[in-house]
């Protein structure tokens, strides 16, 4: 009896440790930001994410929040945008409008900046066509790569990793832009109080990112410059920026040509 009792206790302890081990394995690693990071937020339609980010970091320092639309169109599209913008500006967050994530060098007003984190949540071209959205991702990553702090700046691209979104070829586009995929994080919208998904088109279907089903599919893909590109001078901090950008683009083009045929044929 005594031996059996000890054996039973041993098994229970082993099962308990096994359960704890499984729990640790299942622990989520979520998207997070710290107050010492410089952050550029792109395509924040109603600026609800940037407001949530402000609360998440508990600091307005080094945040620049942007929208693709003009100020007037933003206020027309989104009911709560005006209040959100007022709160950001009052806190000291930089707010810019008319910023095209695919052409930052032409539309971003602070061209000499470089960032620890560049964030683009749920980008969409407004049309449910894979090739159009794939092109958007390609252009965004190539553009954003020039604005990363070297060597450890990161691009955070959040998508719903289910078809058709998972067919947009994000990792292939990253490789073409001289970036490497270094991590995938769970995107927990509750970490950014008040954030809700907005669509490019005002009347388009919205994604309920707070629902359990959507939450499981929403992931943040983390990209960094390849070691080769990270060693190049920062294109915004040298006199001859054109020459450096040309070198970066040549490397990006070479990477694109070296793609495997199976990858190029992805649909």
CA atoms within 13 A on the CB side of 134: 17
Structure tokens at 211: 């629902």
Using CA atoms, how far apart are residues 203 and 61, in angstroms rounded to an integer? 34
Q: How confident is the model at residue 57 (pLDDT cuts 50, 70, 90)?
A: very high
pLDDT tens digits, one per residue of 2-25: 455 555 555 555 555 555 554 455
DSSP state of 32: -
| Element at 69 (helix H, strand E) | none
Structure confidence at residue 74 (pLDDT): 95
Structure confidence at residue 228 (pLDDT): 81
Using CA atoms, how far apart are residues 76 and 234, in angstroms rounded to an integer? 38
pLDDT tens digits, one per residue of 219-263: 999 999 998 888 776 654 444 445 555 666 666 666 666 554 433
* Total Cβ atoms within 10 A of residue 50: 28
Task: Please check whether residue 110 is in contact with residue 151, taking contact to mean a CB–CB distance below 8 angstroms.
Answer: no
Structure confidence at residue 238 (pLDDT): 42
Using CA atoms, how far apart are residues 211 and 233, in angstroms rounded to an integer? 44
Using CA atoms, how far apart are residues 167 and 134, in angstroms rounded to an integer? 8
Structure confidence at residue 42 (pLDDT): 97
Find tokens 């499981």 and name the residue: 216
Cis peptide before 241 (omega within 30 of 0): no
Using CA atoms, how far apart are residues 182 and 225, in angstroms rounded to an integer? 10
* Total Cβ atoms within 10 A of residue 40: 29
Q: How far is CA 49 from CA 85, 101, 159, in A?
A: 11, 16, 15
pTM score of the predicted model: 0.77
Structure tokens at 208: 């309920």
Structure tokens at 187: 């995107």
């Amino acid at each position: 009896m005594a031996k059996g009792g000890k054996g039973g206790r041993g098994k229970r302890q082993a099962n308990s440790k096994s359960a704890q081990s499984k729990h640790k394995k299942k622990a989520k690693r979520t998207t997070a930001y710290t107050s010492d990071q410089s952050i550029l937020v792109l395509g924040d339609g109603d600026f609800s994410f940037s407001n949530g980010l402000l609360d998440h970091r508990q600091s307005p320092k080094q945040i620049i929040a942007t929208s693709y639309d003009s100020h007037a169109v933003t206020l027309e599209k989104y009911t709560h945008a005006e209040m959100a913008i007022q709160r950001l500006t009052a806190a000291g967050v930089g707010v810019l409008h008319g910023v095209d994530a695919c052409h930052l060098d032409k539309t971003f007003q602070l061209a000499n900046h470089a960032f620890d984190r560049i964030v683009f949540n749920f980008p969409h071209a407004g049309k449910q066509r894979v090739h159009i959205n794939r092109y958007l991702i390609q252009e965004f990553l190539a553009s954003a790569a020039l604005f990363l702090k070297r060597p450890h700046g990161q691009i955070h691209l959040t998508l719903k990793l289910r078809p058709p979104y998972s067919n947009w070829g994000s990792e292939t586009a990253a490789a073409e832009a001289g970036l490497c995929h270094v991590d995938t994080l769970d995107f927990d919208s509750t970490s950014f109080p008040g954030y809700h998904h907005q669509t490019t088109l005002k009347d388009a279907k919205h994604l309920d990112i707070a629902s359990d089903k959507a939450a499981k599919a929403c992931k943040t893909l983390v990209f960094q410059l390849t070691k080769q590109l990270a060693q190049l001078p920062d294109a915004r901090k040298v006199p001859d920026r054109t020459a450096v950008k040309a070198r970066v683009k040549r490397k990006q083009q070479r990477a694109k040509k070296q793609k495997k045929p199976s990858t190029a044929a992805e649909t």
